[in-house]
A and B are shown apart, each in its own frame.
Chain A
Amino acid sequence: MKHTLIASVQDQPGVLVRVMGMFRRRAFNVESLTVGHSETAGVSRMTFVVDTSRISSRIVEANLRKLVPVLDVHDVTHVPTVSRELALIRVKCAEGERSQVNDLISIFRARIVDVSTDTVIVEITGDPEKVDGLVELLRPRGIVEMVRTGKVAMTRGASARRALAHEHEADADPLELAS
């Protein structure tokens, strides 16, 4: 199974190496990873898609939390989320076929963003399954080049933090401990 994890990390040198080093060292299999700025200055946001057939996502999450620059991790696999991926696909397309290709990709709300004599570049945004669908449809025409960003995700509703915090409260009955 695949799990989607979202992590907030301190935007500092080497943080990506630190995170990916942990994945490599623990032999956790990452399907995709995206990194970018978040709403807060100095905080980057990472979205991981992790193959959890050999290791539970809880352990991946716990290992991420052990890294000092990792501020927060959430497994959003079972939380309603909006997830998107962007792909640019250079596909063979003779001059006479452009309208045909255009019709096909418009079903996916994709668009042609560049044209040459015998290829076009198609841009598509959507959940990864939708991108997969278009790729499969274009493949017989001859995909010359492709780049996919990997998945980014955000929980639905008013606030991710509120929704996730609520989840934790459900079974909480904390015991006060003297420290």
Chain B
Amino acid sequence: MKKTGAQIVWECLVREGVDTVFGYPGGAILPIYDAMTEYPIHHVLVRHEQGAAHAADGYARASGRIGVALGTSGPGATNLVTGIATAMLDSIPVVFITGQVPSKVLGTDAFQEADIVGITMPITKHNVLVTQIEDLAPALVEAFQIARSGRPGPVLVDVCKDVQQATTELRWPETVESTRRRSLPQLKRSDLRKAADLIAGARRPLILAGHGVIESGATQVLQAFAEKTGTPVALTLLGLGGFPRSHPLCLGMMGMHGEAYVNTAIQEADLLLAFGMRFDDRVTGNLKNYAPGSKKIHVEIDVSEIGKNVPVDLGLAGDLKQVLEALLPSVEARANEPWMARIEEGRNDTRSRDIVHRESGDALYAAHVIHDIWRATKGGAVVVSDVGQHQMFEAQYFPHEAPRTLLTSGGLGTMGFALPAAIGAKLARPEAEVWVVAGDGGFQMTQCELATLMQEKLDIKIAIIDNGYLGMVRQWQEFFYNRRYAATPLLSPDFVKLAAAYGLPAHRVDARADVIPTVERVRSQPGPALLHFVVQAEEAVYPMVPAGADLQSMIRRPHETPPEKTDASGAAGATEVAA
């Protein structure tokens, strides 16, 4: 049967099982929008295309399915760019479909023409411009296959307006050559034996578990492997949830804001088992002195990551779940008691400095707020965090037990990610309790999506952690730039009134005693709510490995009494900024 290009787009989405898309219409994508109403797919109208990109990304992160975002040509497409790069750096499968000017005027600087394929080439796993209707169905089918295969990632299909309007006989391609070709090299028995030998010979082994654990669904086999081999597990930011935080072998997050005992364990280990992670600079610190005394085994689906930053003794290219399943029978059961005892010593020292045990007095600390949200939600929520100090406090003080319960922009560190990503997450998993945890800075980058949230009638709870500063940048200025707070004091609107303008119930909280009762109150009421937490202005995230320093050179959290309460509410901040 003959179909228009616009219909083929929707036919393809239906065939791929897509139930929700996020987008914003415009001239060059109007034929696709016109055909939309014929298909059983829910379209979410965002307020800015960046929101569509993050929402599709959040949908994918929350569900493991492929997210889809639509935008028009020119500014519509360029507004997607930050979201595309965010998905690329974190290996999130998202298909972006953009309208493009008619093929006849391509290259003439036509109205709303931008070379989005050229612009997004370095930030997509693949992208393609479709100028002929015959190429459309194969391009879309291939886009979905590429997005999900191997190391997932974003794919962009740019469709000329005349292609959307043309008609053709719809035929689905039988196989897609490019993804078949990209099958992984087969595991070798000799490599598995070598891995088992290295593991058997280690006395201080440590697993570094990353996002790959979650993407490959390796959570259970990882736990079986860690338990059988008595190996403690440190997690990357994106790996949080891949191994239960309450498990005795779980050490928590590693790297720049990882706890001291975790980074010390990495430096003292004699075998690092890197599972589905990529030795990012935020994880390794100075590469020259990174885990110098250890052998390293790297299990990674993307061959180009093996040996990229850290030389390894053995690289196993493959899907983590499959590799661990193959490796599990050949490793010895053991417990590394002296090693675990040593790690526990460090863990106890960290506990004594833990901000959770610090008296709050009159002051409200960001870490306390986030920890209390965890307590009130009994850890059951899906948290979508933004980028900055609150993101690190969340990683430290909101223990995650299950995969896909923390969604955050790790690689690109995109402020403004949380609210739109939470919209995607809630639509992907309507049954989940979804919380946005954002700073006053990041929230204002995409706060227009509050309207999207209301239009979609989504039950999302929003916690704004407001310290009146761009907190993480301020922290760097405090530590490394002589406390010259250039451009970090931040005037914010009255978030409670802002919420009211959008029609959300909202509460301002500035005392520790009110945190849990307020969280419990909004939880008991269905529908969205915004909580404005006014916290200590100059709190820092500890510990901290300065960028480029050795992993053990941490700035530790001081044993100190809390500072005097300073009011960092919007109003006080306003005076400060105005002065």
Contact = CB atoms under 8 A, between A and B. Distances in A.
Interface in B158-185: 178, 181-182
Contacts of B178: 68
Interface string B315-335: 000100010001000000000
B273 to A, nearest CB: 19
Contacts, number: 58
A124 B415 CA distance: 57
A4 B310 CA distance: 24
B188 A171 contact: yes
Contacts of B181: 71
Contact of A21 (B121, B187, B192, B322): B121
Interface in B277-336: 302-304, 306-308, 318, 322, 326
A65 interface: yes
Contacts of A68: 125-126, 146, 178, 182
Contacts of B122: 21-22, 25
Interface in B107-146: 117-118, 121-122, 125-126, 146
A179 B188 CA distance: 16
Contacts of A25: 122
B188 A172 contact: yes
Interface string B180-221: 011000111110100000000000000000000000000000
Interface string A140-173: 0000000000000000000000000000000111
A44 to B, nearest CB: 16
Given A21-B121, A58-B307, A177-B322, A66 B302 contact: yes
Contacts of A71: 181
Contact of A174 (B117, B118, B126, B188): B188
B326 A175 contact: yes
Contacts of A116: none
Interface in A12-39: 14, 17-18, 21-22, 25
A63 B304 contact: yes
A56 B186 CA distance: 22
Name which of A56, A173, A178, A179 has the most chain B CB atoms within 10 A of its CB. Answer: A173
A56 B126 contact: no
Given A25-B122, A66-B302, A173 B188 contact: yes
Contact of A62 (B117, B186, B303): B303
Contacts of A22: 122
A68 B182 CA distance: 8
A7 B189 CA distance: 29
B304 A17 contact: no
A113 interface: no
Interface residues of A, number: 25
Given A21-B121, A175-B192, A175-B326, A65 B187 contact: no
A59 interface: yes
Nearest to B177: A71
B182 A175 contact: no
A18 B122 CA distance: 8
A18 B125 CA distance: 11
Contacts of A171: 188, 190
Contacts of B117: 14
A174 B308 contact: no
B190 A173 contact: yes
Given A17-B118, A21-B121, A68-B178, A175 B303 contact: no
A67 B326 CA distance: 29
B187 A59 contact: no
Contacts of B118: 14, 17
A177 B302 contact: no
A65 B182 contact: yes
A59 B188 contact: no
Interface string A55-82: 0101100110111100100000000000
Nearest to A22: B122
Given A171-B190, A174-B186, A175-B187, A65 B322 contact: no
A175 B307 contact: no
A17 B121 contact: yes
Interface in A42-60: 56, 58-59
Contact of B186 (A58, A65, A67, A175): A175
A56 B310 CA distance: 12
A173 B307 CA distance: 22
Contacts of A62: 302-304, 306
Contacts of B146: 68
Given A65-B303, A68-B178, A177 B189 contact: no
Contacts of A21: 121-122
Contacts of B308: 59
Given A71-B181, A177-B187, 20 more contacts: A14-B117, A17-B118, A17-B121, A21-B122, A22-B122, A59-B307, A62-B303, A62-B304, A65-B304, A66-B304, A68-B125, A68-B126, A68-B178, A172-B188, A173-B189, A173-B190, A174-B187, A177-B318, A177-B322, A177-B326
28 contacts: A18-B121, A21-B121, A25-B122, A59-B308, A62-B302, A62-B303, A62-B304, A62-B306, A63-B304, A65-B182, A66-B125, A67-B126, A68-B125, A68-B146, A68-B182, A71-B181, A171-B188, A172-B186, A172-B188, A173-B188, A173-B189, A173-B190, A175-B187, A175-B192, A175-B326, A177-B318, A177-B322, A177-B326
The 3 A-B residue pairs with the shortest CB-CB distance in the complex, in nearest-first order: A62-B304, A174-B186, A62-B303
